[in-house]
Amino acid sequence: MDIRERMKNGKLYFCTDESVAREQLQCLDKLYDFNQTRPSEMEKRQKLLKELLAEVGENCYVEPPLHANWAKNTHFGSNVYANFNLTLVDDTDIYVGDSVMFGPNVTLATAGHPIDPGLRRKVAQFNLPVRIGNNVWIGAGAVVLPGVTIGDDSVIGAGSIVTKDIPAGVVAVGNPCRVLRPINDRDREYYFRELKIDLR
C-alpha cells in the first residue's frame, strides 16, 4: 500500500514523501489565490473555490481567509456558508452536506498523530474522514476531530470540541462535546432565549 492509499484508509504512515509535499504545495498556492481575492471579485472567488475543493454544490459561500492542508479532499453540498477562518485539516476526505453553516474559526480535522513519542518523532500520522450531515450549524470556534460524524439538523455550540459522533436533531455543546438536548417544539416557537419567532 503506497502513502496516498495509507493517507485515505486510516492507516499509520510517515510524512516524508517529497512528491506528496510538492502536490500539497500546488494546492496551497491555489488557496493563497482564493484568499487574496477582493470582496468585489465574487465571480473569481467562486471559480477558485470550485477549483480548490473536490466538490462544491450550488450557492456556497466561503468568507476568506480559508485555511486547508489540501482543500482538494473536501466535498461541499449546496447552500454551505462558512464564516472567517474555516480550517480544513483535510489529509483525507471531509464531507459537508447541504445547508450547513460554519461560524468563524471552526476547525474540521481529519489528521491525528500517535500518542507514542517515538512514532511522533518520526512524524507518524493517521487520517479518518469527517462527515457533517445536512442542515447542521457549527458554532464559532468549534473543533471537529478525526472520524467524527454529525447527524442532520444538529447544532454544535460555540467552542465545542467534538470527539465522538453526534446524532441527528440535537443541540450538543462542551469539551468534550455532549448532547445537551433534542431539538424540540420550543425551538420552533423561540429563536433565542425568550425571543419569540415572529416573521409577520
- Concatenate the DSSP letters of all residues of 96-143 into one string: E-SS-EE-TT-EEE-EE--S-HHHHHTTEEEE--EEE-TT-EE-TT-E
Residue 104, phi then psi, degrees to nearest 5: -65, 150
> Parallel, antiparallel, or unpaired: how do β-strands 195-196 and 178-182 relate?
unpaired
**Inter-residue contact 141 to 155 (CB < 8 Å):** no
Q: What is the helix (H) or strand (E) element at residue 34, kind and residue range?
A: helix 18-35
Burial (0-12, 13-18, 19+ Cβ within 10 Å), 81: middle
Q: What is the helix (H) or strand (E) element at residue 170, kind and residue range?
A: strand 170-173
Using CA atoms, how far apart are residues 36 and 34, in angstroms rounded to an integer?
5
Given 11, 113, 120, 181, the catalytic residue = 113
67 among known catalytic residues: no
Which residues are identified as catalytic? 113
